[in-house]
Amino acid sequence: MAHINSTHPVCPSLDTTRPGLARVRDAALGGKDNYSIDRDLVVELEHAAPGFSDLVRAERAWHIRAVRYVASTGIDQFLDCGVGLPTAFDNTHKVAQRHNPDARVAYADADCIVVAHGRALLHDDERTLVLQADYTYPEELLPAAGAFLDFSRPIGLLLTDTLHHVEDDAHPDKLMATYRDALAPGSAVVVSHWWDPGTGPDHDAARALEATWQARCPRTGRYRTRAEIQALLDGLELVPPGLVEFDDWWPDGPSMTAPTPTRRLGLAAVGITP
C-alpha cells in the first residue's frame, strides 16, 4: 500500500469537543469508531427528521452500486475523495477489485484518524493508495494522486457524501470544474448530495436537518435544490436514469419495506466526461 501526506495535515477527529463528520457517518451506519458527541448528533438529526440514518444507509448502498457500474464499464482506476472511515458495507476497493483484481484505488481524506484506519486495513495491498489530503484542495490532491493513478486514462472519481459539506462561498461548482477538467475523456464522475425538494413536508424535513447540522457543526450539512445539484454536474453526460433519488438509481431489486420520507432526501448521478 502506498501513502502520501498532504501539506495540510489537519485532523478533525482529534477534536472530541465537537462532532466529526467521519465519525457521525460511522455512527449513523452503526459503526464503532465514534464518540458519544457523534452519537448525540445522530439522535438530534433523527429527532429533527426521523430516518436520517436511513438516508445515510441509502447513500452508502447507492455508492456501492455506482462503483460496481463504473467498474463494469472497464474503468480500472478510482479516486475516492472524502472517503470517511471504513464501513461494514463493501468499500470501494472491494467492489472494484471484484470486477478487476488489478483495479487501483486511491482514497483521500483530510482526517488523520480516517487515514490511519485506512492504512491499517490496506497495509499489504499495493493496488491502493491512502492519501491524507483535503478534497477541497484539488490543486494538492490531484498531483499527489497522480503519482499513483494515470490521469491520461479514464478514472472513476467519487465525490459521495462530500459536496453537501461544502458551503456556497467555498464554490463547490468551481471545485467540480477543477476535478472534471483534470480527467481524461471517458472518465466517470460519481456524485451524491443531500436534497431539498423545495415544497411540502420533505422541504420542512430538509430544512430541519440542515439547521441541526449548522447548530452543531457550523458551515456544513447543506441540503441543496435539484437545480443547485444539477449545476454541479455541468459538462458531464449523465448515465441514465440521470439525477435521481438514491433508491431509484439502478436498484438491486424491489424494496421489501416502505422507505422513510427522510430516506428520499438525497440525489445521485454518474456523469461521463466528454
The 10s digit of each residue's pLDDT in 214-225 is: 999 989 999 999
The whole-chain average pLDDT of the chain stands at 90
What pLDDT score was predicted for residue 7? 42
Where exactly are the structural domains of the chain? 2-12+51-272
Residue 95 cell numbers, joined: 467492489
What pLDDT score was predicted for residue 78? 98
| Mean pLDDT, range 91-113, rounded to an integer | 93
What pLDDT score was predicted for residue 86? 76
What pLDDT score was predicted for residue 89? 65
pLDDT digits (tens, 9 = 90+) for 37-79: 999 999 999 999 999 999 999 999 999 999 999 999 999 999 9
Looking at domain 2-12+51-272, its CATH class is: alpha beta
What pLDDT score was predicted for residue 5? 44
Task: Tell the residue number behind the cell numbers 491499517, with chain if given.
Answer: 120
Q: How far apart are CA 70 and CA 101, in angstroms?
A: 14
**Residue 47, helix vs strand vs coil:** helix
Whether a cis peptide bond, with omega within 30° of 0, leads into 241 is yes
Q: Is the pLDDT of residue 85 over 90?
A: no
Q: pLDDT class for 1, splitting at 50, 70, 90?
A: very low
Question: How many Cβ atoms sit within 10 Å of the Cβ of residue 105?
Answer: 28
What pLDDT score was predicted for residue 163? 97
Q: Whole-model pTM above 0.85?
A: yes
Q: What is the distance of C-alpha 127 from the center of its chain? A: 21
List of long-range contacts for 101-104, beta carbons under 8 Å, 24+ apart: 102/76, 102/127, 103/71, 103/76, 103/77, 103/78, 103/127, 104/76, 104/77, 104/78, 104/128, 104/129, 104/148, 104/149
